[in-house]
Amino acid sequence: MSKNNIGRRYAEAIFSIGNSNDNVQEIYESLNKVMELYLSNEDLKNILDNPLIQMEEKEKVINKIFENEKESIKNIILYILSKGRIQNIKEIVTEYLKIYYLKNNILDVEAIFSKEISEAQKSKLIKNLKKRTKKKINLKVVIDKSIIGGGILKVGDKIIDGTIKTQLDLLMYKG
């Protein structure tokens, strides 16, 4: 089974638990923390991935790290660990966020410009995208100095290239 399918199956089950307990956001934050720790802390990764270390020892490590978390959230993390899916934590978190965005009608948009845009410009862009897509917009602005002017929007799986270079290229091919 592919990593994305594994991630999706676990994310759907975890989201369902979060939805019924009304702590979807809290679970996301905890899963994200697990992912960041697992991907950035080589010692933790080695402990959790090592087949020679007993599950009880791994559980003690997780319990110590997440001692301030609610028991229900700790149980989710321990379940992922016990099923040998901690290596899939990135896919689980990614799929969980996709489900969250879908259920809450949120769309990720990446806007790439040559320089920082003002708050007024951001607001106008969000307002226009919201009007067109009928969704809440989660805007991320990226600066790319190689762009001469204009910008690129990545809306879901679509790319809208409004850079001056692209516009000039289109004019040259038409003419």
Domains and CATH numbers, the chain: 3-101 (1.10.520.20), 105-174 (3.40.30)
For residue 15 the two structure tokens come to 């989201």
pTM: 0.74
State how beta strands 136-143 and 106-113 pair.
parallel
pLDDT tens per residue, the chain (175 residues)? Answer: 677 788 999 999 999 999 988 899 999 999 999 999 999 999 999 999 999 999 999 999 999 999 998 898 899 999 999 999 999 999 999 999 999 999 989 998 999 998 999 999 999 999 999 999 899 999 999 999 988 888 999 987 788 888 888 777 778 776 5
Contact between 135 and 105 under an 8 Å Cβ cutoff? The reply is yes
- Give me the long-range contacts of 8-11 (CB less than 8 A, separation at least 24): 8/91, 8/95, 10/80, 10/85, 10/88, 10/92, 10/95, 11/92, 11/93, 11/94, 11/95, 11/96, 11/98, 11/99
